[in-house]
Amino acid sequence: MPEPPATAYFTVTPDWVCEILSPATRALDQGAKRNVYAREGIAHLWFVDPVAKTLEVFELRDGHWTLLQNATGQTEVAPPPFSATPFQLGSLWWTKQPPAVHEPRPEPTQPVMA
């Protein structure tokens, strides 16, 4: 793609999609969206789960997703379509976990009136 499109969408099918899984979007990402990606002919699909610290790498073969790699933790990976550029999987993980979505936020403190 030589320059960004003037629209809010792309008309060129990407070679690769990476979905960052979260509790709120996991079912959509691994279900309906995965089916759309296959229908549109996207060749490579990654699912990154920052809580479980996993990477699942899929390749589209004859219209079906084939799991190529399931990596966890800190291991070095070189998944397609970036096989020539290995990286440490641990570089994707937060050093401090964010609070869970369902945890209540602390109440703001009220100023003390004299």
pLDDT at site 26: 94
CATH of span 16-92: 3.90.1570.10
Residue 93 CA: distances (Å) to CA of 46, 50, 71, 79: 15, 6, 13, 17
Which portions of the chain are predicted below pLDDT 70? 1, 97-114
For the chain, the domains span 16-92
DSSP secondary structure string, 36-60? HHHHTT--EEEEEETTTTEEEEEEE
pLDDT at site 35: 96
pLDDT at site 81: 96
